[in-house]
Structure 1
Amino acid sequence: MGETERNGSDLSDLEWHRIGPLLPEQKQVGRLREVDLREVLNAIFYRADNGIKWRNLPKDFPPWQTVYGYFRLWVRRGVWEAVNQALVGQVRLSEGREAEPSLTIIDSQSVKLGEKGGPKLGSMAIKR
């Protein structure tokens, strides 16, 4: 598209080229998409950046109902998780690391909390 950014939250061309292909494609049946998905993303990021209600999106974005509808659809379809994983992988690669982490760390606090309640609950049930 190549438009200039209106807001600090608008996607740059590079960001759009990375994220755009991760979005669901046009449906094969039904009405054709009439909205620019880049503008939908710009509106979603604007809302997140400014902490406003959906209804308070500026009028130069697509209608708030359209933006909200895409946001909810993408939540249900796991699109946001896929975008996040792809971008994290790209950042890792740009830092000279593997795209996927090779190690998972569980901190000792979460392990202690998990063990603490289990044995006590079991012995209390037997005593009663």
Structure 2
Amino acid sequence: MIRYRATWCAMPNDLPPWWAVYQQSRRWMEAGCFDALVSDLRAVLRIASGRRAEPTAAILDSRTLHWTPENDPRAGYDRTSRKKGSNLHIAVDTLGYLSILACHTSQSR
């Protein structure tokens, strides 16, 4: 079977056991640590560019991620783009820094 991403079990041996790293990363994600990190980094980069910390405008984009055997259970059919897969929605500020990223199943009706 071909895999498109690394599994937790394939972590290097010089790191803690994979299950400990996975468990800690889940705690950080549930606590919102990564969201806060992205938000703080965006604010620092904007201030360094001479802009306000919070953006006042955004650029929106969306696309359908193509269906593969790995995402079969969650893939739907996007009637607009006539593709089977998952929808990805992204918002960036005018400097191109990430504001929002959302991925969900396409509506199949």
| TM-score, reference length from structure 1 | 0.40
The structure with the larger Rg is 1
